[in-house]
Amino acid sequence: MKDDILNRLQFSLGKDADHASVYDWRMAVSLTVRDQMVDTWFNSTKEAYAASSKRVYYLSMEFLIGRLIEDMISNLQLEDTVRGALTDLGQDFDEIVHDEPDAALGNGGLGRLAACFMDSLATLGIPAFGYGIRYEHGLFEQSFAQGQQVERPETWLNQRHAWEFERPEVQFPICFGGHVDHHDGKTTWHPSEKVLATAYDTPVIGWKNEWGNTLRLWSAEPVSQFDLDSFNRGDYLAAGRSEALARTISRVLYPDDTTDSGKELRLKQEYFFTAASIQDLMRRYLQDHDDLRQLPEHVAIQLNDTHPAIAGPELVRVLVDEHGIDMAEAIPLARACLAYTNHTLLPEALEKWGEWLLGRILPRHLEIIRIIEETQQREHPGSPRILEHGDVRMGELAFIMAHKVNGVSALHTELVKETVFADLHRIHPTRIINQTNGITPRRWLYNCNPGLRDLITDAMGDGWVADLEQLTALKAKRDDAAFMQAFQASKRDNKAALSNWIGQTCGIALDPDAMFDVQIKRIHEYKRQLMNLLETVALWNDMRDNPDHDWTPRVKIFGGKAAPGYYMAKDIIRLINDVAEVINNDPATKGRLKIVYPPNYNVTMAERLIPASDLSEQISTAGKEASGTGNMKFALNGALTIGTLDGANVEIREHVGSENFFLFGLTAAEVMERRQHHGYARAAIEASPRLQRVLGQIAEGRFAPHDTGRYHGVVGMLYDHDYFLVTCDFDSYFDAQRRADNAYQNADNWAAMALMNTASMGWFSSDRTIKGYARDIWNAHPPRAAMDRSA
């Protein structure tokens, strides 16, 4: 390993050890590790070909991967080797690992789920490709200026990305615009614009280096590099115009996790990566098959939300216009390949495109969508429409073109059946199924929490890493005093390390014995960071009123970004920072209450915060959080949840036991009912003197003394259109928090509850989720298991 690293340093980086920077060392280590993945990767590809396996194609606009170096090293079981080699070379392993920038090619849960799924697909040995976009700029970088969010472009590709292989030979033209000709029964699309999609492959190697799949990200390039005629005429801008146009397509990730941006560029991005992926998988299929009617036996295409929903019409277009299959046959054939995952019920997040816009950019696709619509109406008169009020509704399109549609938690799936797709569900009663989300235990326990990982492995071996349900054996340890002591110590160590980091980065001193209460996720009204903050102010008031009470010391940690155009979310961020400023400087609550909000929350920060958390905030308005996956990461790492009956919280509570979960709040049914009552928010505020006081303080400018009107909008919203029922759940939430306070006072009992959480979370491994997809949706199998069976 030492020689390999030095060789890489010399021959790939052109540096000698004396002059190498941390970056050079990291690249040398990464390239060395990457070399060791290639055999597994090649062999997996060969095996999948030899077995003529069905392949899974996971199409996702987002892959929120974070750093890769630790994943790669641990999945290859190289930790000790690499660490040892670097120590011998006089280098610091941790410093090198922390030098890698996060690949932030996603907004939040949806993108992170895709990354966890890639890890599980490889670990399970299921042949799969992840297809997405190689954004030049991932999710923006967040900083705070006077408490307000400031966004700056993220530049992960300024440095070379060590893990990818550029594939200049894998290149497909992607067309836009123009018109369509129908002649002698033949249809021809004459596009007006064309770009090239070039592949960049990152090998994804599963646990213990047994199987490797590919994450193939597409980058847009101009068809012709530049126009030499214009250049020679001295028109340098015109010479580079087509290049500039093409490159914008893969330039930025849309940072909007709330509403359909309505931008033409986003539609082009969606079509760009979907069309490239379909050309690629068709090419692969046609290499060793000639009967396109067998396509569904070899190809499973999973649509991660509606962003790639144009895959339906695109696949039909390719089958009909390029391979001469009848439309009537092509539609069901495409459907048999396609499945769609829904991640949201929020009406504003369901994608729609103006018919006019879609027709201008993808004229042939609009024709095909019309035919799909007619076919659906003919077969199921009165079916909900794809085309309505001048819009193309991508949810309906995805549903109608999928053979299975899945929700991401039990509750969410029921709500999908009852609300957004109620009418389609009546027509296709077996199409909607549930696949509750999961998380990869490799990243979210093994790598991020080495203390707990070693404790568990010492107690039971490392079988749990690929079979997380083995963790139930830990339940027997709750009476083992030595184990429980070590369990508590590992949490204490993680909290001390986090306190150090927060001290260094935010300049705030924390007491590692305080309860670390953490809410990290995108800032959104339905996730109710505001309710958490109001409770913090109420607690502060109570502490100041009763200074002699035996208060449980708390550290409230927030993390998360707001979409740049989401003004209410940005006000909430500013309010958190303003309140922190006042409370953190109040001598009356010193040592008892602190608020920290480290800027630029990302995957790497989550890996730091989650292992050091005691209390996990999962407090969305019931019925709004489709699943949540952060909730699973916390519970697995021994944090207790304070939460509503929403998303996967419901299933987490069933697994960990209601006695190990702080439940509060209205149920989804009660939420819908409450909204029918006129003036429900005012009534709730009037009934709660505690809440009234907090709202009064905020409205009076207690936290913005030089700009007292700053939060009138926020307070006014709570009085007049508190759609997410912050006011109605406030008292119940406050009480649940006091139950948590009391429980925390008994450290042994708290640790026993935390252990029950860790021990009960095995079911939430994304390995279980992927087995569910493979069985119920894809009918895909690991070729190796088939060979083992026949041997």
Q: Would you please indicate which residues are annotated as catalytic (active-site) residues? A: 343, 521-522, 527, 629, 633
Binder of ligand F58 out of 24, 71, 100, 257 (CB under 6 A): 257
Ordered DSSP codes for 272-331: HHHHHHHHHHHHHHHHH---GGGHHHHEEEEEESSTTTTHHHHHHHIIIIIT---HHHHH
CB of 722 to ligand F58, least distance (A): 20
For residues 132 and 783, which CB has a smaller minimum distance to ligand F58 in the complex?
A: 132
The owner of tokens 């069985």 is 775
DSSP state of 756: H
**Does residue 577 belong to the site contacting ligand F58 (CB under 6 A)?**
no
* Among 250, 532, 627, 769, contact with ligand F58 (rule: CB under 6 A): 627
Stretch that binds ligand F58, among 144-152, 216-224, 341-349, 661-669 (CB under 6 A): 341-349
Token duo for residue 739: 């139950």
Q: Which is nearer to ligand F58, 227 or 256 (CB)?
A: 256
Tokens 């961020």 identify what position?
573
Q: Which is nearer to ligand F58, 110 or 358 (CB)?
A: 110
Q: Which two tokens stand for residue 85?
A: 């080699």
Residue 261 CB, nearest distance to ligand F58 (Å)? 8
Q: Which is nearer to ligand F58, 280 or 646 (CB)?
A: 646
Judging by DSSP bridges, how do beta strands 387-388 and 391-393 pair with one another? Answer: antiparallel
Nearest approach, Cβ of residue 228 and ligand F58 (Å): 40
Cβ 219 to ligand F58 shortest distance, Å: 20
Using the minimum distance from each CB to ligand F58, give the nearer residue, 376 or 629. 629
Do the beta carbons of residue 64 and residue 115 sit within 8 Å?
yes
CB of 305 to ligand F58, least distance (A): 7
Binding mask 103-132 for ligand F58 (x = CB under 6 A): ----xxxx--x-------------------
Q: Are the C-beta atoms of residues 336 and 299 closer than 8 Å to each other?
A: no
Q: Work out how close the CB of 349 gets to ligand F58 at its nearest, in angstroms, rounded to a whole number.
A: 5
Does residue 626 interact with ligand F58 by CB under 6 A? yes
For residue 447, the number of C-alpha atoms closer than 13 Å in the C-beta half-sphere is 27
CB of 415 to ligand F58, least distance (A): 12
Q: Which of 54, 268, 317, 343 binds ligand F58 (CB under 6 A)?
A: 343
Cβ(54)–Cβ(96) below 8 Å: no
Binder among 249, 408, 615, 743 for ligand F58 (CB under 6 A): 408
Q: Which residue's CB is nearer to ligand F58, number 281 or number 652?
A: 652
Contact 542, 585 (CB under 8 A): no
Which amino acid makes up residue 554? R
Q: CA torsion sign, 464 to 467 to 473 to 478?
A: positive
Which of 404, 316, 411 lies closest to 618 in space, CA to CA? 411
Query: Within a 13 Å sphere around the CA of 143, how many CA atoms are in the beta-carbon half?
Result: 6
Q: Is 663 exposed, middle or buried (0-12, 13-18, 19+ CB in 10 A)?
A: middle
Q: Which of 66, 647, 665, 782 binds ligand F58 (CB under 6 A)?
A: 647
- Minimal CB distance residue for ligand F58: 109
| Interface positions, 422-481, toward ligand F58 (CB under 6 A) | 437
- Identify the residue among 132, 560, 628, 638 touching ligand F58 (CB under 6 A): 628
Q: In the range 660-689, which residues lie near ligand F58 by CB under 6 A?
A: none
Report the candidate in 155, 110, 129, 135 with the shortest Cα–Cα distance to residue 269: 135
Closest Cα partner for 289 from 52, 503, 577? 52
349 lines the binding site for ligand F58 (CB under 6 A): yes
Report the interhelical angle of 726-745 vs 529-545 (nearest 10°).
Answer: 60
Q: How many residues of this chain bind ligand F58 (CB under 6 A)?
A: 18
Residue 790, token pair as written in the block: 């026949």
Per-residue tokens: 697? 């303080």
Residue 339 or 685 with smaller CB distance to ligand F58:
339
The answer to whether residues 422 and 395 touch, using CB atoms and an 8 Å cutoff, is no
Q: Footprint of ligand F58 on this chain (CB under 6 A)?
A: 107-110, 113, 256-257, 343-344, 349, 408, 437, 625-629, 647
